[in-house]
Amino acid sequence: MKLRYWLLITGSFCVLNTSTTAVAQNSGKLNIVQKPIVFNQKRQQLSLDYLHKRHGIQKTRPTIVPRMIVLHFTGSGTLNSNFNYFNKEEIEQARTANKNQSALNVSAHYLVDRDGTVYQLLPDTIFARHIIGLNYMAIGVENVGGPDAPLTEAQVRANAALVRHLCARHKIEYLIGHSEYSIFRNTVLWKETNSNYYTGKADPGTDFMRKVRALVPNLKLRSKP
């Protein structure tokens, strides 16, 4: 069965079907499987509220202009369990620190399975909540795995290919791991209206970032402001 979801485009809603897009990447192809999460009227409004209250940005559509790619790991779970988690519009009650700032659920633009298959959950220019202070300019890439399930070499290669793909489509300046985002605090790029809203992160790991960066040196992406 084909998946469908409602995506806000130019002020109206249209239906997109699941498909696979093959993108040429040097010696091989990056297969991006469209696996969209729900982006209905409720998620749209929660995203607009987040942009306004957390980033101080008022918009009529929840869009971003990508300048940064942020790599994450999910911490645990499978492709399907993480997809189902991101697919909910509202964040779970147990995540109190995040819930107190916004009811919008966390999500990402891409989810990379352990075999390196890349799934696109949201269009690159649609807002996603995945990194405090920088969501308004950042494309999020989640990788299935965590401390008890170290990320794979297939994921390293897939992330590097995806970074190349995104840099060909957008004016990307920065490539960071989630654990590296604190260096952007107290800079003009950091847009978080609550100076106390910050959580320490360890994902996706220094070794993973080193390996991905080693595959894309010619892109000259920055890791610091």
Write down all domains in the chain, each with its CATH number in brackets: 20-219 (3.40.80.10)
pTM: predicted TM-score of the whole model, two decimal places: 0.90
| C-beta neighbour count of 123 within 10 angstroms | 18
More confident residue, 145 or 4: 145
Token pair recorded at residue 184: 């952007």
Contact (Cβ atoms closer than 8 angstroms) between residue 144 and residue 35: no
5-31 pLDDT, tens digit each: 434 433 333 334 445 554 434 334 799
For the residues 80-95, what does the mean pLDDT come to?
A: 94
Contact (Cβ atoms closer than 8 angstroms) between residue 20 and residue 31: yes
96-155 pLDDT, tens digit each: 888 899 999 999 999 999 999 999 999 999 999 999 999 999 999 999 999 999 999 999
CA dist., res. 45 & res. 51, Å (int): 10
CA dist., res. 167 & res. 160, Å (int): 11
| C-beta neighbour count of 15 within 10 angstroms | 9
The length of the chain is 225
CA dist., res. 84 & res. 220, Å (int): 35
Beta partners for residue 9, in sequence order: 12
Burial of 132 (0-12, 13-18, 19+ CB in 10 A): buried
| 204 to 12, 126, 141, 181: CA distances (angstroms) | 36, 23, 10, 12
Contact (Cβ atoms closer than 8 angstroms) between residue 121 and residue 34: no
